[in-house]
Amino acid sequence: MILEHNSTLSENTKKSAELFEKACEVIPGGVTANIKYFAPHPLMMEKGKGSKLYDVDGNEYIDYLLCYGALILGHGHQKVFEAVTKQMLESGTTIFGTPHEMEIKMAEKLIELYSGIEMVRYTNSGLEATLLAIRTAVAYTGKPKLAKFEGHYHGGYDQVLVSVNPDMDKAGDPKAPKSVGESRGLPDYYIENTVVLPFNDLESTEKILRAHAHELAGVILEPIQGGFIPAEQEFMDGLRKLTEELNIVLIFDEVKTGFRLSIGGAQKIYNIKPDITALGKVLGGGFPVGAIGGKKEIMMITSARGGRDILTAGAKNTDKRDPLYHSGTYNGHPTILAAGLATIDVLEKEGTMDDLFAKTQSLRKQLEDVYKKHGLSMQTVGMGSIFNIILSENPIKNYRDMEKADMKLRKEIDYELLKLGVYTKPLNRYSMSVVHTENDILRTVEAHDEAIKRVLK
Ligand code: PMP
């Protein structure tokens, strides 16, 4: 059984506990995103600065959650603050509610950086981006179903809330995983119409894709599962070839990996052009955003020109081309795009990404040494600026491999780390920012040393 309570966490976080209780009276479960809950209560933050978070009890934390990876420049980066303020003051508004030039600027930037992107559409979240990507694939191919990989997350909606973290007794054969629904309220339709694939197993993936090719619109994947388990190059090459041959749209969900694996995402590292790319997180510089980009031929089916107007009552639909409907009040939000462009601008400065990766490597290596010193089997798994700590000697290539890791011990260590001022949600991956310092790394390594001592005692 994984540790569910750690009462000593509450000793220095009494205000968090009190606030959480209050929250529970007005917000079901006290959180507005289920992932943000952990027992006995999540920590309520009050301030952020650079690589640090400060909770309502005044505790300081070195932040490795970084809003689930979004804050690659850390908290409150001056360039982001300036860009947002400038945009609002100069334009005199938060949002125009019309097309504007920055939408073009950001699109041009994404086209320059991402080999698979020839045209762009904006959304308000990563969830909406993958949703639009999937609808676009269905519209483009005229086929009804989607294939996704076991253990991959693409947002919290019906079509992809399938086999993200399935119980082993329901998940079926590792070579032919079953579709397992992950939420109450999920219509059976999506479980029946979502084909589940085994990550990093090309042979089995090929078998399943060939069997379903006639009905599959797209394959969606996190090129790096959960942001930390890399696809093998051979697997990626094979998947690209297969999807091309079978007329299946290949969708890279780069919501986590975009700007984090390389500035041009996973597609740059793997030298693969997906048909559609979904972006989010870093793209918004800490504000809510998403985008999809892809081949012109595919993306053009979202074009409003020549499409029917379904929202204006009485509008004459003279051109009867079926629309692929995509809209959103806040799509292409200028304040948010300003934050995103400022973020990309910082990342593009020479040496920035290399420094970030070197720092991440250094932390990984030092952590591996500490665990080894204590006689624990541990490996860091990841790429670029993201990694995870896996307490297992076995190679980690997919969801099933994660089952072999010691999650109980990891969780106990994570709770101690919270008390020692190192923040990530227990069991979550580590994301680095450009503002983490050598001293942060040193403190983090020392905290792990102490946490392991306490847990092993
Ligand atoms: N895809 C991936 C790979 C993600 O990691 C996430 C968020 N963790 C999403 C999609 C959904 O993004 P959002 O939370 O912005 O809706």
Identify which of 111, 176, 63 has the alpha carbon closest to the alpha carbon of residue 425: 63
- To which H or E segment does residue 290 belong? strand 290-294
Does residue 4 surpass a pLDDT of 60?
Answer: no
Residue pair 240/250 in contact (Cβ under 8 Å)? The answer is: yes
Q: Helices in 142-196 by DSSP H: which ranges?
A: 168-171, 188-192
Residue 1 has pLDDT above 60, yes or no: no
Active site residues: 153, 253, 281
pTM of the model: 0.96
Question: For ligand 1, atom 5, which residue shows the shortest CA distance?
Answer: 256
Nearest atom in ligand 1 to the alpha carbon of residue 68 is: 8
pLDDT for 213-253, tens place per residue?
Answer: 999 999 999 999 999 999 999 999 999 999 999 999 999 99
Does the beta carbon of 253 lie inside 6 Å of ligand 1? yes
In this structure, the strands spanning 145-149 and 194-197 are parallel
Categorize the per-residue pLDDT at 318 as very low, low, confident or very high, splitting at 50, 70 and 90.
low
From the CA of 152, give the closest atom in ligand 1. 3
pLDDT over threshold 50, residue 2 = no
E strand map for 74-178? 119-123, 145-149, 172-173, 176-177
Two tokens, residue 115: 């080999």
Q: Ligand 1: distance of its center to the CA of 90 in Å?
A: 32
- The CA–CA distances, whole Å, from 14 to 11, 24, 423 equal 6, 15, 17
Is residue 7 predicted with pLDDT exceeding 70? no
126 lines ligand 1 (CB under 6 A): yes
Give the pLDDT band (50/70/90) at residue 3: very low
- Tokens found for residue 201: 């197993």
pLDDT of residue 314: 74
pLDDT at 296 over 50: yes
pLDDT category at 303 given cuts 50, 70, 90 is: confident
> Is pLDDT of 306 > 70?
no
Q: Which atom of ligand 1 is nearest to 130's Cα?
A: 10
Domains of the chain, earliest start first = 78-348 (3.40.640.10)
pLDDT over 90 at 451, yes or no: yes
Q: Where are the alpha helices (DSSP H) in 124-172?
A: 126-141, 168-171
Q: Check pLDDT > 80 for residue 313.
A: no
**Contact, 416 vs 450, CB < 8 A?**
yes
Q: State whether the beta carbon of 155 lies less than 6 angstroms from ligand 1.
A: yes
From residue 281, give the alpha-carbon distance in Å to each of 39, 223, 289, 349: 26, 16, 7, 20
Please choose from 66, 124, 154, 224 the residue to mutate so as to test ligand 1's pocket, defined by most ligand atoms within 8 A of CB: 154
Q: State whether the beta carbon of 254 lies less than 6 angstroms from ligand 1.
A: no
Single out the residue of 366, 328, 326 nearest to residue 135, CA to CA: 326
Q: How high is the pLDDT of residue 186? A: 96
Residue 302 confidence class, pLDDT cut points 50, 70, 90: confident
169-177 mean pLDDT: 97
Question: Closest Cα to residue 200, out of 293, 146, 268, 270?
Answer: 270
Q: What share of the chain is helix, strand, coil (3-state, %, to 5)?
A: 45, 15, 40
Confidence of residue 307 (pLDDT cuts 50, 70, 90): low
Which tens digit of pLDDT belongs to each residue from 410-434?
999 999 999 999 999 999 999 999 9
Mean pLDDT of 312-328: 74
| DSSP secondary structure letters along 359-418 | HHHHHHHHHHHHHHHTT---EEEEETTEEEEE--SS---SHHHHTTS-HHHHHHHHHHHH
